[in-house]
A = this chain, B = another copy of it.
Amino acid sequence: MTATIKDVAKRANVGVGTVSRVINNHPSVSDEIRKRVLQAIEELDYKPNAIARSLKIKSTKTIGVIIPDISSAFYPEIVRGIEDAAKDLSYNIILLNTDLKREKEKEALNMLKEKKADGILFISNTVNKNLKREFKKTGIPVVLVSTKDLEGEIPSVTIDNERAAFDITNYLIKMGHRKIAIISGPKDDPNAGITRLEGYKRALLESGISVDENLIFYGNYKFKSGYDAMQKILMLKERPTAIFAASDTMAVGAASCAMQKGFNIPEDFSIVGFDGVELAEYFYPPITTVKQPRYEMGSKGMQLLIDILRGETKQKSVVLDYEIIERKSCREMGGI
């Protein structure tokens, strides 16, 4: 069997308390004994049992990470940011997928409560009252990443979606576009759906362009919904010259549809996306987009969570910067 602290104590001829103290670097242990203990540890290849330790100190050095779907392009980089930060702080992460199902979110929360996670990073649905009650029931601190508590009670790390949509729409306007369609997220997504649509509308209005309801389409951030929206756009009598898709994947879907029907990007349509996903970069032509700092969102979320666990912070939320990445999917309009 694998060695325990008792075995080490015996071999080093000391008490278990002493061994524990050298493991945890308590100051009050003489150099000579420390050396003896260290040697015994070495000889037995002793590794402390984290489970036993956790039981005693009531901390597992484990963080639960709740996301919709790791195989969806948006999340892996967030998770990578989380895991890197976790490693630095000597935590581990348990990954749970929810598919945005409330039921699975609840189950995940239960698991994490039973396994005594020290904290939770929640990157799933928008938070509602009901969910907040579930959070409370676990008794585990939660930080939101890339989603929000509408009432702002739970700390979160996000970007300003409204402003980002405003900026990217303005980018199109500056290039001379006046008929700009949007392929928005779903109406029931208060975080990235509604806000981006609002930013788009505000940009139009502030430039004196009236918003045309016929140029507003709704998708679900996936390829097919972008593709389908483009099909509708192509059937318009008065086509837009530019399209703002609320996700890169929809942007690519739209571009694919157009190209398949014989149109060219950016000559016939200027297209911009949102997220800054690899697909947009590697597509041909590469798609201009607003890049969310996904890695940083993850690592920052982790750091914030740990700060909170240590009681080192007033639970304030953080809003990160986004960046418009100009590529080859847009063109300047000449005069009308």
Residues in A lying within 8 Å of B, measured CB to CB: 2, 45, 47-52, 54-55, 60, 62, 69-73, 75-77, 79-80, 83-84, 92-97, 110-111, 113-116, 137, 139, 223, 249, 252-253, 255-256, 259-260, 278-279, 282-284, 295
Contacts and interface: CB of A to CB of B under 8 A. Distances in A.
Contacts of A278: 73, 279
Nearest to A60: B51
A96 B52 CA distance: 22
Contact of A71 (B80, B139, B284): B80
Contacts of A77: 71
Contacts of A93: 94-95
Given A76-B76, A83-B95, 11 more contacts: A47-B113, A70-B70, A71-B79, A71-B80, A71-B295, A75-B76, A83-B96, A92-B94, A92-B96, A94-B95, A256-B284
Contact of A94 (B94, B113, B139): B94
A217 to B, nearest CB: 19
Nearest to A257: B284
Nearest to A80: B71
Please state the number of chain copies in the assembly: 2
The 10 closest A-B pairs by CB, nearest first: A71-B80, A71-B77, A71-B76, A50-B114, A50-B115, A70-B76, A76-B76, A256-B284, A95-B95, A51-B55
Contacts of A259: 284
Contact of A80 (B69, B252, B283): B69
B260 A282 contact: no
Contacts of A79: 70-71, 95
A95 B80 CA distance: 10
A75 B73 CA distance: 11
A289 B149 CA distance: 42
Contacts of A76: 70-72, 75-76
A206 to B, nearest CB: 34
29 contacts: A47-B110, A47-B113, A48-B114, A49-B55, A50-B114, A51-B51, A51-B60, A52-B55, A62-B115, A69-B80, A70-B76, A70-B79, A70-B80, A70-B83, A71-B80, A71-B295, A73-B73, A83-B95, A83-B96, A92-B111, A92-B115, A94-B94, A94-B95, A223-B282, A255-B284, A256-B282, A256-B284, A279-B279, A279-B282
Given A110-B47, A116-B51, A137-B45, A260 B284 contact: yes
A289 to B, nearest CB: 14
